[in-house]
Amino acid sequence: MSYTINLKTIQACNLLNNFRSTRLKCRKRMSTTTKKESINEQETSTEETTHFGFQTVKESEKVQKVHKVFEDVAKSYDLMNDVMSIGIHRIWKDIFVERLGPSHGTRLLDMAGGTGDIAFRYIKYLANIPNPKNRQSHVTISDINQHMLDVGQKRAEGLKYIAQSLPQMSVEWKCEDAEKLTFPDDSFNAYTIAFGIRNCTHIDRVLSEAYRVLQPGGRFMCLEFSHLTNDVLQWLYDQYSFQVIPPMGQILAGQWDPYQYLVESIRKFPQQEEFKKMISAVGFQMVQYENLSFGVTSIHSGFKL
């Protein structure tokens, strides 16, 4: 009888010890899991924020949101620019390429150039000036959004801007992130970006990369919506931007939100003098800007010397 009781007691003690050991392990696991979750939450909460139009979002979210905007408007991009500028964007782009004044032998990187608007003007500009030495020129059209590049390549085929029709010009289409380009240092002697830099999360990184891939003596040029120099005109432009552009986007392209974002993104972009300082800060020299249409857009220019 005594033996039976002692054996049962021992078995009970063993079960109790096992239970305690299991409970302790569970507590440790729960504690570890909680710590990991806490660390993840801290990492998430400490992620830098930025603006997406007038919204404040995490930097990682902005990249996705901007990508979605241009994925949605890729096929109606020209229409979008017509709505945003009342059609004047075509004149601004002509002036932009004229200010660049490329010569035969130029190697151009046209960043955020998906649909080819600047590249096609560059090709046409060179085709209209003599090339007695038969110098070979080049343009790389880059964009972070493949949908935009697809639209541009189809347009290029329609315009006959293909290898067989351009014996003195090589053209490359490449999907690239302006903040971390894959091109080697000193790859180009001209860099253009039109209506694209304000959509980038880190403008300073875009400028640094532009500086890196340019050869000494190379030129950086940016065409971007900006800020009017007259308060009355700015007020009128704001009314048009916020009251007319999004509804027109909805009516003409079935898109409201992308147009709303694009209008807001213009207001968040640095003013002309501030942007000029940002360009100088990464090393560019002889930095200057020219306002077009009273500052609705501006052309900024700098050289890597």
Long-range contacts of 163-166 (CB under 8 A, 24+ apart): 166/123
Residue 137: beta bridge partners?
169
Q: Is 177 annotated as a binding residue?
A: yes
What tokens does 288 get?
Answer: 């200057």
* Alpha helix ranges (H) inside the chain: 2-45, 59-73, 77-85, 89-100, 117-127, 146-158, 203-213, 231-243, 245-253, 257-268, 272-281
Q: Is 178 annotated as a binding residue?
A: yes
- Nearest Cα to 96, choosing from 82, 113, 79, 114? 113
What tokens does 277 get?
Answer: 């300082």
DSSP secondary structure code for residue 19 in this structure: H
180 to 101, 150, 152: CA distances (angstroms): 27, 21, 22
Cα distance between residue 88 and residue 82, in whole Å: 7
Task: Give me the residue label for tokens 């380009």.
Answer: 181
Q: Is 117 annotated as a binding residue?
A: no
Other residues' Cβ atoms within 10 Å of the Cβ of residue 213 = 20
* Dihedral class, residue 294 (left if φ above 0, else alpha if ψ from -120 to 50, else beta): left
SS3 251: helix
DSSP secondary structure code for residue 230 in this structure: S
Q: Is 115 annotated as a binding residue?
A: yes
Residues in binding site: 115, 143, 177-178
Residues in binding site for S-adenosyl-L-methionine: 115, 143, 177-178
